[in-house]
Amino acid sequence: MPQNRRSNPAHKAALLLLLILPLVLASCVSRESGTTAAKIPETVPLSELGGVTLQVGDQKGGTESLLRAARQLDNLPYTVQFSTFTSGPPQIEAATAGKIDFAITGNTPPIFGAASGAKVKVVSAYDGGGVGDQILVHADSPIKTIADLRGRSIAVGKGSSAHGHLLGQLDKAGLKPSDVNLVFLQPADALSAFSQRQADAWAIWDPYTAQAEQQIDVRSVGQAKGVTNGYWFGIASDAALADAKRNSALADLLIRFEKAARWARDNPEQWAQSYAAAVGLDPKVAEVSQARSLRLPTALDDDVVASEQKLTDLFAESGQISSLPKFADWVDRRYNDVLAPLLLSTN
């Protein structure tokens, strides 16, 4: 009938809306799913993981040496290969690029990862206390307080836990990053610059803090405890979490790390000696750093996530990151139940 073929603007608009609305909703779901935890694959029995290799990032040998000292790498039903990184940010980049499956980083690298849309999730938490995360100056420096850092140069690893600690200290003292000169250097280069007095202060974490305390006449003008949360985080690549076999192997490795941390807490002298030998540290440096900065497994709960969001907000407000991510979108708590029985921290 001719009248049914006639164009009706209102009718066409309604039909167009009906056609577009599902696409808009689908787009929203797609964007949302890009930042939330991936669907958890079915668990694979450990007996079927013989051909699996987990690529694990490490810093100063801390993860591998602890697992080995506690005999937690014995009789693995899968293979683990370790790669050494200078700090947390390169580990985040490597996980996003698919070069590693897992790593343990300080509290700030996951924030930078979230701000850049990294393809990783935080899957476990560890309480390092924050005592070994310090801001050092030379013993004869006129700098006595954080406020005295105004106009001074500070060596720090960009995106590291020391960066977060420094930002927290500046904020507490009423200073902004623009009030100081941030010199972004990795630990080895920062140690050289600081030793040669090319930087007035050095924001750093253990074992480098303990190493500097032994090798250079230094003073601390601030520690992270009570200023930032002192947490470390296990981060896993999205690709590993979506793979049934690597997901299952990672659950087992996280349990082994918790058992290793318990062993280290109960055998501090043996652990310090083993750590020193494994990574080439002076035994006294290893003893001091591990006595105050042992990463104790703790619950990945709402309080931990909230404390990270607070630090994330500080980074965004100060212009140190270009966006304000919702940190919870980069957290995956799938391993909480299996890890809960072995938690060592009461925080």
Sequence spans of domains, the chain: 46-128+230-342, 134-223
Q: What is the pLDDT of residue 11?
A: 41
For domain 134-223, is the CATH number 3.30.360.10?
no
Q: What is the pTM of this model?
A: 0.86
Is residue 342 very low, low, confident or very high in pLDDT (cuts 50, 70, 90)? confident
Helix 161-172 crosses helix 302-317 at what angle (to 10 degrees)? 70
Q: Which CATH number fits domain 46-128+230-342: 1.20.810.10, 3.40.50.1440, 3.40.190.10, 3.40.50.1820?
A: 3.40.190.10
Per-residue model confidence as pLDDT tens digits over 89-142: 999 999 999 999 999 999 999 999 999 999 999 999 999 999 999 999 999 999
Helix 62-69 crosses helix 244-266 at what angle (to 10 degrees)? 70
Q: What is the pLDDT of residue 328?
A: 97
| Shared fold status for 46-128+230-342 and 134-223 | yes
Q: What mean pLDDT, rounded, does the chain reach?
A: 89
Other Cβ atoms within 10 Å of 323 Cβ, number: 11
Residues 6+ positions from 13 with CB-CB distance below 8 Å: none
